[in-house]
Amino acid sequence: MEQNPLLVRRLVDFYSSFDLVVDTRIVVETSSVSNTLPWNLLISLYNRNRLFGEALSAYKRMVGRGIVADKFTYPSVLKACGEMLDVGFGREVHRAIDAGIDECDLFVHNALVTMYGRFGEVGVAHHLFDKMPMRDAVSWNTIISIYASKGMWDEALELFEKMLEQDVEVNIITWNTIASGCFRKGNFNSALRLISQMILCGAYLDPVAIIIGLAACSHIGAINLGKQIHSYAICSSYDKFDNVRNALITMYARCQDLERAYMMFLLVEEKSIITWNSMLSGFSHMDRSEEASFLFREMLLTGIEPNYVTIASILPLCARVANLQHGKEFHCYITRRQIFKDCLLLWNALVDMYARSGKVVEAKRVFDSMSTRDKVTYTSLIAGYGVQGDGETALKLFDEMIKFQIKPDHVTMVAVLSACSHSGLVIEGQMLFEKMPTVYGIIPRLEHFSCMVDLYGRAGLLNKAKGIITKMPYKPTPAMWATLLGACRIYGNTDTWEWAAGKLLEMKHESSGYYELIANMYASGGRQDKLAEVRTSMRDLGVKKAPGCSWVDVGTGFSSLLVGDTSPVRGDLPRVGWTDRANECCWLCSFRGLRR
């Protein structure tokens, strides 16, 4: 047998087809046949079983016996080098290829590009790709995936566009990679265009593509396109996949169709924590606190333990609907569970919840207890102090943030500029605004210019506020004109407020509040002619003033009283007594024995 090449080959074929690694190795290494084929099969078998170290050892033994590697050997060896991240030996094999093969085979070249991609040497991989005399779909898919794996989405997208221009067949993995890259960069419309292009090119959407499309729809509120993707999922039977259903729940909830989202939620027989989180996040997104509370209780009753995503979804809701007591219950829940001890996301959510609720002392207490902080932590607390008018403390926190080399982002700058505005710190706010591009590397956005208009307006520096609006590289929003109008009214600058009022009226916004602001200013100035023009504009545009509303305790509950409403008083909202309120607030603790 040792001298019979045909018998050796057949035995190696037989053993390797059943993944019998030891038997294959014995046959190959005990034979004296100098053919490369048995060794190639052995190295390939090692790779198939993820025994990459053994694959490289087999290659070294083969070369040591004087057997010359061929174009079928090298792809397997290069793959093993890449998986083992053996850069030194990988380069040695590359040199052997250059010395031993006159014309590099396409498969060998693809394997070289892949190996250097695994090493993280993107430049070398791209250089080899450019040198290839011919390329196939694998070549393009490989180099694109290398750039994508490094988060270099612009380069990946550029290569993808060149690939399409050359009519190279794109596989579903590459489509999904590029669509995912667009999604991660926040280019949701581009991601959806790619999904549409996939269908037009005859590509068959898999669950990954469907989930990317649904996620993009949820971010931009494209419910009609989301429904089309849903229909595609039904036709391909992918709607039965749990991860697709979770994406559907999120999409419908984010697109404000909670009824359909809840229907999808009910269709899931065995609900995972991701399913519960998707529905809870939907209720939280729409500020439906009662439904979120009920669903959370139901989740606990089914024995599902909430994770950090669950709590982080509900805590902001507690702040937005002013349900601080529930927020405190969640704080208690987090504190008593060690698994949440190092979860920065949750502690940031707690700081944000207390800060948004106006409880900056509690927010600072949580902040001080945290062993790790990031820009989200600081931004939340800075915003909290800013709203309370304590700009000096907000600025101290910002300085501390810079001292600890935590780089601020555009949200942080909005918070600190707003804090300066609420506290009348004009010089400080102006200096920070000027430092944004030069010191912090942040190009001012529309919201930053809006903060500066508010800062100057509150301080009575109306010409500077006007200058910001007229010179900024963005189109002013109605809110900015209204801010300037309010400042003009306070400081009695008639010329500027008439100019600003004219600009605001030109925008023909549908909000009645802006028209009422202008009308009240004209009325207080005795400008009946202008007041009549405003009322006429409101009528022509179909803008109606929202009626005044008050809530009155009528004994059996609370009733809403609207101006001009002649219907009988009734208890619209049930009265919640102090005992009932206490029971309601303690429901979370009662489920896990947390009540003190």
Q: Write out the DSSP string of 345-409.
A: HHHHHHHHHHHHTT-HHHHHHHHHH-S---HHHHHHHHHHHHHTT-HHHHHHHHHHHHHTT----
Write out pLDDT tens, residues 245-268.
999 999 999 999 999 999 999 999
Mean pLDDT lowest for which of 41-45, 177-181, 334-338? Answer: 334-338
The span from the CA of 65 to the CA of 430, in Å, is 76
Tell me: pLDDT of 10 over 50: yes
Residue 401: per-residue pLDDT: 97
**Predicted local distance difference test score (pLDDT) of residue 545:** 60
Q: What percent of the chain has pLDDT over 90?
A: 65
Q: What is the mean pLDDT of the chain?
A: 87
Neighbours of 224 (CB within 10 A): 9
pLDDT at 586: 40
Q: Reduce the DSSP state of residue 70 to 3 states and report it.
A: coil
* pLDDT at position 511 over 80: no
The per-residue pLDDT for 565 is: 55
Q: Give the separation between CA 95 and CA 117, rounded to whole angstroms.
A: 17
75, 78, 84, 90: CA torsion to nearest 10: 170
Confidence at 496, pLDDT banded by 50, 70, 90:
confident
CB 296 within 8 A of CB 306: yes
Among 88-97, 395-404, 525-534, 570-579, the range scoring the smallest mean pLDDT is 570-579
Q: What is the pLDDT of residue 388?
A: 95
**What pLDDT is attached to residue 391?**
97
User: Tokens representing 339?
Assistant: 């698994």
- Report the alpha-carbon angle 461-467-468, nearest 5: 95
Query: Which fold, 445-546?
Result: 1.25.40
Within its chain, how far is the Cα of 192 from the centroid? Answer: 16
Quick check: helix, strand or coil at residue 573? strand
**What type of residue sits at position 309?**
V
DSSP letter assigned to residue 468: H
Given phi > 0 = left and psi -120 to 50 = alpha, else beta, which region is 167? left
- Burial zone of 81 (CB within 10 Å; 0-12 exposed, 13-18 middle, 19+ buried): buried
- The predicted structure's pLDDT at residue 557: 43
In this prediction, residue 525 carries a pLDDT of 67
Say whether pLDDT at 465 is over 70.
yes
Query: 145-172 pLDDT, tens per residue?
Result: 999 999 999 999 999 999 999 989 888 9
Q: Which residue has the higher pLDDT, 492 or 441?
A: 441
Query: What is the per-residue pLDDT for 204?
Result: 87
C-alpha to C-alpha distances, 544 to 522, 524, 564, nearest whole angstrom: 18, 21, 14
SS3 (DSSP) at 574: strand
What is the predicted pLDDT for the residue at 576?
Answer: 34
Residue 568, pLDDT above cutoff 90: no
Q: Which amino acid is at 43?
A: I
If one counts every other C-beta atom within 10 angstroms of the C-beta of residue 228, the result is: 16
Q: What is the pLDDT of residue 323?
A: 76
Residue 128: phi and psi, rounded to 5, are -65, -40
Q: Cα separation of 13 and 300, whole Å?
A: 56
For residues 468 and 421, give the distance between their C-alpha atoms in angstroms, rounded to a whole number: 15
pLDDT at position 475? 94
Look up residue 171 and give its DSSP letter. Answer: P
In the chain the first and final C-alpha atoms are separated, in Å, by 81
User: pLDDT for 512-555, tens place per residue?
Assistant: 777 777 777 777 666 776 666 667 666 656 555 655 555 454 44
Q: Cβ distance 34 to 62 under 8 Å?
A: no
| Sheet strand arrangement including 573-574 | 549-553, 557-562, 573-574
Q: How many CA atoms lie within 13 A of 47 on its CB side?
A: 19
pLDDT at 166: 92
Q: For 349-367, write each residue's pLDDT tens digit.
A: 899 999 998 999 999 999 9
Phi, psi torsion values for 562, nearest 5 degrees: -100, 145
SS3 425: coil
DSSP-derived secondary structure for 519-571: HHHHHHTT-HHHHHHHHHHHHHHT--PPPPEEEEE-SSEEEEEETT--SPP--
**What pLDDT is attached to residue 571?**
44
Nearest-angstrom CA–CA distance, 573 and 571 = 6
- Taking the C-alpha atoms of residue 358 and residue 533, their distance in angstroms, rounded to an integer, is 41
Could you state, in order of their start, the residue ranges of all structural domains in the chain? 445-546, 552-591
**Which tokens belong to 483?**
């801010």
Residues 437 and 443 sit within 8 Å (Cβ to Cβ): yes
User: Would you say residue 581 has pLDDT above 50?
Assistant: no
CA dihedral 71, 74, 76, 78 (to 10 degrees): -150
Q: What is the mean pLDDT of residues 280-304?
A: 91
Buried b (16+ CB within 10 A) or exposed e, 298-326: ebbeeebebbbbbbbbbbbbbbebebbeb
pLDDT reported for residue 256: 93
Q: Is 316 helix (H, G, I), strand (E, B) or coil?
A: helix
